[in-house]
Amino acid sequence: MRKSRAGSRRVTMPLSVILAATALVAVGCSGSATDADSSPKTATAKVSTPPVHAGVDYQLGGVYTPPKGVSVVSRDHTASPAPGVYNICYVNAFQAQPDAEGDWDADLLLRDRSGKVVMDKDWGEAMLDIGTPAKRTRIAEKVDDWIDACADKGFDAVEPDNYDSYTRAPHGLLNAADAEAFQTLLARHAHARHLAIAQKNTLELAKDRKRVGLDFAVVEECGQYDECGSYVDAFGDHVIVVEYTEKGMKRACAGWGDRISIVRRDLDVTPAGHDGYVRETCDRY
């Protein structure tokens, strides 16, 4: 059973710098925006998006009975959906799980100029090489198997994590166009299985969400970093916010608590009944 993951995947450089870099690489480097695997638009099949301004719970650290008032739950793809609510299925799509590099063909792991596997050092995860159409297709085949399992279990949507992985890769190895091309493949498959698909964080690519085929957003700490309004601009009220601090929760609730779904969880998304468990809603703020 794979290790659950939690916490915010923040890019430490200023957003203005990321946006400028995104604009450059989207038209340069690998030229992925015109690859055969990146169509101009991904049509949305008959999918159901999460209810807006809903009670939500983030259960990546372990499953438990959703608290009263919860109608949307996110769980790992190895878990089963919660009965009677809208269920989002989490998959780690752009990176290998910790110590799971061996689950992938060696040539699908991103490598630096010296041939060393590139790691996300904060999470101890090897990055996947989505830099060419052929490799994207092969990686997507494995992730699609997880998406199929989500659909077969009865989940309503899928949440592919680490869309922003390219921002942590050494310069020139991956770019925004690579990420969008790969995400487009996942969106097509999710829609074919009648699953909605979320954009996880990655504000700098939110402007392209319709072209990529993304239906709603799951966002960590947009209150903490004053980004909630920008996600609402891109996704309307179809935004689910997870905050980890009192400051972030207060800001998110004050600005957007009457429109979008917001919950505060502890950083380890600990199951209810265990030490460290925190779950709060805007009713407290």
Please determine, for residue 10, whether its predicted confidence score (pLDDT) is greater than 50: no
Q: For residue 239, give the 3-state DSSP assignment.
A: strand
How much of the chain exceeds pLDDT 70, in percent? Answer: 84
pLDDT tens-digit readout, 244-265: 999 999 999 999 999 999 999 9
Residues linked to residue 197 through DSSP beta bridges, in sequence order: 158
- Which whole number is the average pLDDT over 162-179? 96
Angle (nearest 5°) at CA 165 between 191 and 56: 55
Q: For residue 103, give the 3-state DSSP assignment.
A: helix
Q: How far is the CA of 179 from the CAs of 151, 205, 243, in angstroms?
A: 23, 9, 25
Distance CA 250, CA 247 (A): 5
Residue among 64, 56, 60, 85 at smallest CA distance from 75: 60
pLDDT, mean over the chain: 88
91, 146 Cβ separation under 8 angstroms: yes
Please determine, for residue 24, whether its predicted confidence score (pLDDT) is greater than 70: no
Per-residue confidence (pLDDT) for residue 5, from 0 to 100: 41
Per-residue confidence (pLDDT) for residue 246, from 0 to 100: 97
pLDDT tens-digit readout, 176-198: 999 999 999 999 999 999 999 99
Distance CA 6, CA 154 (A): 23
Residue among 188, 212, 189 at smallest CA distance from 200: 212
With cut-offs at 50, 70 and 90, classify the pLDDT of residue 45. low
Domains present along the chain, CATH in parentheses? 15-284 (3.20.20.70)
